[in-house]
Amino acid sequence: MSSQWKSILGQLLIHLGLIIVVFIVLFPILWVVSMSLDPRNIDRPTELTLIPPGATLDAYIRVLKQPSPNPVAFHELFINSIIVSVGTILFSIVLAVTAAYAFSRFLFPGRQLGMLFFIFLQMMPAGATLAPLFVILQALKLRTELLGLIIAYASGTLPFAIWNMKGFIDTIPRELEEAALIDGCSPSQTFLRIMMPLALPGLAVTALFGWMSGWTEVILAITFLEDPSKFTLSMVLYGMQGQYSTSTPWSDFAAFSILFTIPPLIVAFFLQRYIVAGLTVGGVKG
């Protein structure tokens, strides 16, 4: 009896702690929701209420119709963002999985150095490589194309993707592959038919990282793209504040922020059940 009471008390205490954290997590988000419903277009709600006086969805309608001064609708920007994000995911997964497989399974000269090489490249501040990247993509005739952005973003996600996938593949029993080889699979078939399905959780994590960088990156996109019909959502969102913050249409900015955050949340929600397992196994390196 007493141990039962103890466990109920434990539950209550833990829930109390967890709910406080939920409050901290949601506080800024509810604040943005409140701002997006406010008809006054002010930069800060004057008091802490979730539904401000005279709440309206006008800001959402304005943003969906024409989010920027350019004659481009929300859904066109949305499609561009999807193309960039999905492209980044595919590109980085294909490159990372093959490299990670080699780092995990083969012993070859330069393996340790090779792995460090990928993380070294992440140490260069991203903003600093802007000018040379501009020149290189210009030379490849990819600078003003979404494909150019995809390649640039994928290279940014590769270090984490390779490290994470390598750790994950480490934990997949090698016997499974050996069995497949004995049964007559070629190394490539083994890789595609045995490894890839087993590495699904690791792939989910890599995918979420690729998605987030493609969806939210601003600086490269603003520097490279010229044609407004190729702009992404994050660029327009960035353009809404920035240097001219005195004239920022705050309700529009808030509404746009909410709309902008929903797709990543949906993606994260669907990938979540894989992600816990993915990072688990990927992290443990005995």
Partner 1 sequence: MSVTTKPVQSIGLRQALADLPVRLAKARLAYLYIAPAAIVMAIITIGPLLFQIYMAFTDYSVRHLNPKFSPKLIGLDNFIQIATNQTYIENFDFWRILVFDLVWTFTNIVIHVTTGIILALMLNYKGLIARRVYRALYMIPWVMPGLIVAVVWRNMFDTDFGAINQFLSIIARTLHDIGLLSVYEAVKIRWLYQPDPIVNLGGLLVLPLSYFAVLIVNCWLGWPFMMTVATGALQSIPLELYEAARVDGANRWQQFWRITAPLLRPAMVPAIMLSIIWTFNQFNVIYFVSGGGPFGMTEILVTQAFKLVNPQGKYGLASAFNIIVFLILLIITLITNRISRATEAYYV
Supply the minimum distance, in Å, between the C-beta of residue 265 and partner 1: 6
Is 101 an interacting residue with respect to partner 1 (CB under 8 A)? Answer: yes
Q: Exposed, middle or buried: residue 223 (CB in 10 Å: 0-12, 13-18, 19+)?
A: middle
- What is the rounded radius of gyration, in angstroms, for the C-alpha atoms of the chain? 23
Looking at beta carbons only, is 14 or 79 nearer to partner 1?
A: 14
Among 9, 44, 57, 270, binds partner 1 (CB under 8 A): 44
**What is the DSSP secondary-structure string of the chain?**
-HHHHHHHHHHHHHHHHHHHHHHHHHHHHHHHHHHHH-TT--SS-SS--SS-TT--SHHHHHHHH-SSSSS--HHHHHHHHHHHHHHHHHHHHHHHHHHHHHHHH---TTHHHHHHHHHHGGGS-GGGGHHHHHHHHHHTT-TTSHHHHHHHHHHHHHHHHHHHHHHHHHTS-HHHHHHHHHTT--HHHHIIIIIHHHTHHHHHHHHHHHHHHHHH--HHHHHH---GGG--HHHHHHHHSGGGGGG--HHHHHHHHHHHHHHHHHHHHHHHHHHHHHHHHHH---
Supply the minimum distance, in Å, between the C-beta of residue 83 and partner 1: 17
Supply the minimum distance, in Å, between the C-beta of residue 55 and partner 1: 17
Residues 248-277, interacting with partner 1 (CB under 8 A): 253, 257, 260-261, 264-265, 267-269, 272, 275-277
Among 103, 195, 202, 252, binds partner 1 (CB under 8 A): 103
Looking at beta carbons only, is 71 or 243 nearer to partner 1?
A: 243
Residues 124-183, interacting with partner 1 (CB under 8 A): 124-133, 135-136, 151-152, 154-155, 158-160, 162-163, 167, 169-171, 174
Q: Pull the structure tokens for residue 138.
A: 């210009």
Supply the minimum distance, in Å, between the C-beta of residue 282 and partner 1: 8
Residue window 175-214: x/- pattern of binding to partner 1, with contact defined by CB under 8 A? ------------x--------------------x---x--
Supply the minimum distance, in Å, between the C-beta of residue 71 and partner 1: 24
Looking at beta carbons only, is 71 or 244 nearer to partner 1?
A: 244
Residues 105-124, interacting with partner 1 (CB under 8 A): 105-109, 111-112, 114-116, 118-124
Residue window 66-85: x/- pattern of binding to partner 1, with contact defined by CB under 8 A? --------------------
Inter-CA distances, 268 with 165, 211, 212, Å: 18, 10, 10
Residues 23-42, interacting with partner 1 (CB under 8 A): 24-29, 31-32
Looking at beta carbons only, is 118 or 230 nearer to partner 1?
A: 118
Supply the minimum distance, in Å, between the C-beta of residue 266 and partner 1: 10
Angle ∠(82,85,91) on CA atoms, nearest 5: 130
Looking at beta carbons only, is 72 or 254 nearer to partner 1?
A: 254
Looking at beta carbons only, is 106 or 183 nearer to partner 1?
A: 106
